[in-house]
Structure 1
Amino acid sequence: MYKQSFGSRKQIQFANEQEFYVFLGYLAKSNGNTSLVWEHNENQGAWGSEGRIQIHVDNIPRLWQITLTAGNGGNIKSRINCNEFVKNICTEHGFVYGGIQNVDQILLTIPPQYLEDFYAGLHLE
């Protein structure tokens, strides 16, 4: 479900619904650029669990207003930390944790007027 802003610190913001659905398309690509995780940081003494979008490439399109944090120095180049957004796309749009998404399942959640935007995101490099 679309919202203009996600996260207590507005880590992810969209100018409009088109941007939101382009971003969903980009995340659905399953080409190794991104993966979704739910890290149980509380098990290591941290504050709590964290929903993250891991970025595995040096540059992602900057078509959205997103706050990136550092990666782990390995294959995670940067991260987007936003529990609210990760929960939203998993519960409302059929995304799953990991790097492989079921595009057909996600497509069932995209309103017809935004299918073109979703497909544009799928084809972003």
Structure 2
Amino acid sequence: MNLDLGNVLKFDNEREYFEVLGFLSKDEEYIRVYTENNDKAGAWAPQGRMQLRNVDVSSLPKALMKAFSTSTDGRISETKYVRNLQEKHCFSKEVDPTGSNFTKWLYKESLEKVLETVPREYESDFYRGYHWNCEVVKRLRSISSYDINLTEESNQEVKSHTEGRKTVYYTTKYERSAKNREDAIRIHGTKCMICGFDFEKQYGELGKGYIEVHHIRPLSEVDEEIVVNPETDLICVCSNCHRMLHRFRNYIISVEELRQIVKVNNKKV
């Protein structure tokens, strides 16, 4: 595999290469791939380009993030790589947006066709890119940067601080039905529906019957009292997955999103 395909788009290894391929295969079209027939404008050859659309550079897969960080207008010139997408990965569907035959947007023929070009050992890397959630990654990287800043300050003098002072908070408490919780456990069982963790298997009698229940639609998003169906509106999850679903203050990670994250990272082990 020739990984030196682009002007600024570079890959450290095959995993990065297929991760980017998966990301470019997403239906959201966060990055538009296109060609310009510059020969019609007096240049000697067609030009392949990529344009960033409706997403922040900091939320992209690493190789793309590095490449677009060099751009001043949200575009990068990647003729060799774009040609590679056309010839090796079935990005053969062309759309002429102006009818001038100058600019042609490129799209995958189908997800199935692209997958046929991905070696089995790199399928998990492809799917990591395909299921990439820019909003989650942006938040995680923001938190990581904050943690790094704390680490850099760790060499400063360490001071002791008191804990335990009582503070009164006024907040909204959402009433939850114990019966709904019981029904959800009866229907779904006590094994985590995201990662498969079993408290009884891990902790024996101590963990028997224990599981946490998560509202698929957070109660904080509901303006009035609603009827909850334990079978479709609630899922049973372990404590770790429950924390990850609520990882961010103003953004609830979806169940399917977290399942995919767990699936992809389990394949790395």
Task: Give TM-score, length-normalised by structure 1.
Answer: 0.80
Q: Is the 8 A contact 2:35 2:106 kept in 1?
A: no
Q: In the alignment, is residue 88 of structure 1 matched against residue 84 of structure 2?
A: yes
Larger Rg: 2
- Identify the range of structure 1 (14-23 vs 92-101) with the bigger mean alpha-carbon deviation: 92-101
Aligned match of 2:2 = 3
| Identity over aligned pairs, percent | 28
Give 1:91's aligned amino acid. E
Task: Quote how far apart the aligned CAs of 1:44 are.
Answer: 2.0
Q: Which residue of 2 aligns with 1:69?
A: 71
Give the letter aligned to residue 111 of structure 1: P
> For residue 75 of structure 1, what is the aligned residue in structure 2?
none
Contact map agreement 1:39 1:50 (CA 8 A) in 2: yes
More helix by share: 2
How far 1:20 sits from its partner (Å)? Answer: 0.2
The letter for the 1-side match of 2:16 is E
User: 3-state SS of the aligned residue for 2:62?
Assistant: coil
Q: How many residues align?
A: 116
Instruction: Give the deviation of 1:92 after TM superposition.
Output: 0.7
Greater Cα offset, 58-67 or 12-21 = 58-67
Q: Which runs of 5+ in 2 are unaligned?
A: 95-104, 135-269
Deviates more, 1:85-94 or 1:45-54: 45-54
Who is 1:12 aligned against?
Answer: 9
Aligned to 1:66, the other structure's residue is in SS state helix
- Checking the alignment, whether the CA contact within 8 Å between 2:30 and 2:53 is kept in structure 1 is yes
Determine the C-alpha separation between the residues in 2 that align with 1:16 and 1:63: 12
Larger RCO: Structure 1 or Structure 2 (Cα < 8 Å, ≥ 6 residues apart)? 1
Distance 1:15 1:111 in 2: 17
Alpha-carbon deviation of 1:120? 0.2
Relative distance call for 1:39 and 1:70 in structure 2 (3 A) is farther
Q: Secondary structure at the match of 2:76?
A: strand
